[in-house]
A = this chain, B = another copy of it.
């Protein structure tokens, strides 16, 4: 049976980390909220799950349905899917390592979101622009380097080599690394201009993922939504600034 992915239509957002794993593995899935109402899909189907009085409802999208089981939270979905898609380490301890890395990626994603919404996710960007400028300046000066230096270190210190984050084979963590480099470059083209000089292993990993046949096919397809100003990574030129 196909996996059912539930996420907002019209943006990559957090759902994209799950899509990349499903696409790499060529797993059958339905992107529920992007489907047709007449087929029982669409946003209404997603809202029905969110408001259901079934046990253990999800708090927010993305969530995955696999049969009767509802799996909420991006990192949890990937932890659950990883072994089934052969995108997790075989070793149990390394799966815990992968989960820790994915949660650190999730922290970066939240901080990237909060650069444009530092006061309230329910308010417009225009109503929190001054705070967004201040938060973005700190994000560019301190947080991007802290996270990226760390990921570079993880790759450099991997005993199996710097071509993947954990162990000796591709995992969902590597796919997510591709997405954060892609997202940061879209949102902050000036600040990320010299990424390849500062974080060579990270950028090499990004490039290698982009060339994988299933990922390349996905990125060229209509299933891959473009970045835009409703997602996590948004390009507001006034928030970007050059970094040496």
Binding site for B on A (CB under 8 A): 53-59, 63, 69-73, 75-76, 79-80, 93, 96-97, 99-101, 103-104, 107, 110, 114, 118-120, 122-123, 128, 131, 134-135, 138, 142, 147, 150, 153-154, 157-159, 166
The reply to whether B119 and A59 contact each other, CB–CB distance below 8 Å, is no
The reply to whether B100 and A73 contact each other, CB–CB distance below 8 Å, is yes
Nearest chain B residue, comparing its CB with the CB of A134: B119
Q: Please, how many angstroms separate the alpha-carbon atoms of A159 and B97 in the complex? A: 33
Q: How far is the CB of A234 from chain B (nearest CB, A)?
A: 18
- Chain B residues whose C-beta falls within 8 Å of the C-beta of A110 in the assembled complex: 107, 110
- Chain B residues whose C-beta falls within 8 Å of the C-beta of A120 in the assembled complex: 134-135, 138, 142
- Chain B residues whose C-beta falls within 8 Å of the C-beta of A135 in the assembled complex: 118-120
- The contact of A100 among B72, B103, B122, B123, by CB within 8 Å, is B72
Please tell me how many copies of the chain the complex holds: 2
- Chain B residues whose C-beta falls within 8 Å of the C-beta of A134 in the assembled complex: 119-120, 128, 131
The reply to whether A57 and B103 contact each other, CB–CB distance below 8 Å, is no
- The contact of A131 among B131, B142, B158, by CB within 8 Å, is B131
Q: Please, how many angstroms separate the alpha-carbon atoms of A142 and B121 in the complex? A: 10
- Chain B residues whose C-beta falls within 8 Å of the C-beta of A93 in the assembled complex: 69
The reply to whether A73 and B99 contact each other, CB–CB distance below 8 Å, is yes
Nearest chain B residue, comparing its CB with the CB of A133: B119
Query: Of A54, A57, A134, which is in contact with the most chain B CB atoms at under 10 Å from its CB?
Result: A134
- Chain B residues whose C-beta falls within 8 Å of the C-beta of A69 in the assembled complex: 93, 96
- The contact of A157 among B54, B71, B79, B80, by CB within 8 Å, is B54
Q: Please, how many angstroms separate the alpha-carbon atoms of A32 and B202 in the complex? A: 32
The reply to whether B138 and A56 contact each other, CB–CB distance below 8 Å, is no
Nearest chain B residue, comparing its CB with the CB of A146: B59
The reply to whether B122 and A119 contact each other, CB–CB distance below 8 Å, is no
Nearest chain B residue, comparing its CB with the CB of A110: B110
The reply to whether A56 and B142 contact each other, CB–CB distance below 8 Å, is no
- The contact of A56 among B56, B76, B123, B157, by CB within 8 Å, is B157
Q: Please, how many angstroms separate the alpha-carbon atoms of A65 and B149 in the complex? A: 23
Q: How far is the CB of A215 from chain B (nearest CB, A)?
A: 25
- Chain B residues whose C-beta falls within 8 Å of the C-beta of A153 in the assembled complex: 57
| A57 touching B100 in the complex, CB below 8 Å, given contacts A134-B120, A138-B123 | no
